[in-house]
Amino acid sequence: MAFRKKKDDREVETYMKLTPKTFLLYAVIIIFCIIIISPLVIVFSSSLRTPENQVSPLNLFIEFSLESYQTAFQNMNYPMEFVNSFVTTAGSVLVIVIIATMAAYPIGRIKSKLARFMYFFFISGLIIPSQMVIVPIAQTLSRLGVPNTRFTPMLMFITCSLPFSVFLYSGFMKSVPVEIEESAYMDGASLFKRFTTIVFPLLKPATVSTIITQGLWIWNDYFYPMVFITRKEQYSLPVGMLQFLGDKENPAQWNILFAACVLCALPLIVIFLALQKQFINGIAAGAVKG
C-alpha cells in the first residue's frame, strides 16, 4: 500500500508540474476565455447605466441603475414578446423532436441502402444555408396563401433544424440495445409502444441536446420572424430589440439595447444552467456513437 501511495504521489507531481507546453496551453485558454467573456461583461456593465450615460463602455461598472431595464421592458412590451418567443420556440422544438426521432429510428435500425440514402438525404440539408433560398420560399408561401403569423417562421425553423437533429439522433440510436426491443416484441408490444416506452426514453441525452441547441438558435433568431411577421403584436424578442438600434434621425440607444439583450438571454441562461449536465452528456454521446 505504501508503494502504491508513493507511486500515486509521483504521478500527481508529474501531472501538476508546469512544463512550457502546459503553460502555453493554459495561457491560450485564459486568453480565449477573456476574449469570449469581455463582450458579455461590457454589455452587462452598460446595461446598468441610465440611458443618458454615454460614457465609453470600456469604463466598467461606473454606475448601477435599472432605468435602462425598465425602459427596455416597457418599450419592447416584454411579456407579449416573451410569450411569442416561447410559443414559437417550444412549438418548433416539439415538432422537431417528434419528426427527428421518428426519422432517425428506422435509419438507425434498418441496415439497407434505402436507410443509408435517407441518412445522407437528411445530412445534405446541412450543406445549403436556408438564407440562400429565402426568396423563392417566401414567394411559394405567398402563392399558397399561407398567412404571415407567428406560426409561419416555425415552418422554416422546423425544416432547417431537422438535418442536424436527425444526424444527432441517428448517431445516438446506436447506443440503444436492440435486445431490449426484441424482448418487448416477444411480449407482444407493438412498434409504436416499443418506440414510445422503450426507445424514446433512452434517447433523453440526445433529446436534451436537441432542445438546447435548436431552441437556442430559434430563440435568438430574428431573420425569419422579421421576414414573415408583419404585425408588431406578434414580434419575438430579437425583433423587438431592433427598435433600439436607431436610424439616421434617432441615434442608437445602446444602454437600453444592452439591457434588452440581457432580458432576452436571461431565460436561456436559466435553462442552460438547469440542463448543462444533460447537454454535455448528449453531445459527447452523440459524437462518440455517431
Q: What is the pLDDT of residues 99-155, one digit of tens each?
A: 988 888 888 777 778 878 887 888 777 787 777 778 888 888 788 877 777 788 888
97: CB partners within 8 A, 6+ apart: 165, 207, 210, 211
Q: How far apart are CA 119 and CA 106, in angstroms?
A: 10
Q: Are 272 and 215 in contact (CB under 8 A)?
A: no
Mean pLDDT of 218-238: 84
pLDDT digits (tens, 9 = 90+) for 61-85: 887 888 888 888 888 888 888 888 8
Cell numbers 446541412 label which residue? 126
pLDDT value for 192: 80
Question: Given pLDDT bands bounded at 50, 70 and 90, which one contains residue 96?
Answer: very high
Q: Are 164 and 206 in contact (CB under 8 A)?
A: no
Q: Is the pLDDT of residue 186 over 80?
A: no
Q: Is the dihedral of CA 145, 149, 154, 157 positive or negative?
A: positive
Q: Are 234 and 148 in contact (CB under 8 A)?
A: no
Percent of the chain scoring above 70 in pLDDT: 87
89: left (phi over 0), alpha (psi -120 to 50) or beta: alpha
pLDDT, greater one: 264 or 280: 264
pLDDT, greater one: 263 or 13: 263
Mean pLDDT score across all residues of the chain: 79
| DSSP character at residue 243 | G
Mean pLDDT of 35-63: 82
Q: How far apart are CA 142 and CA 29, in angstroms?
A: 49
Mean pLDDT of 243-270: 79
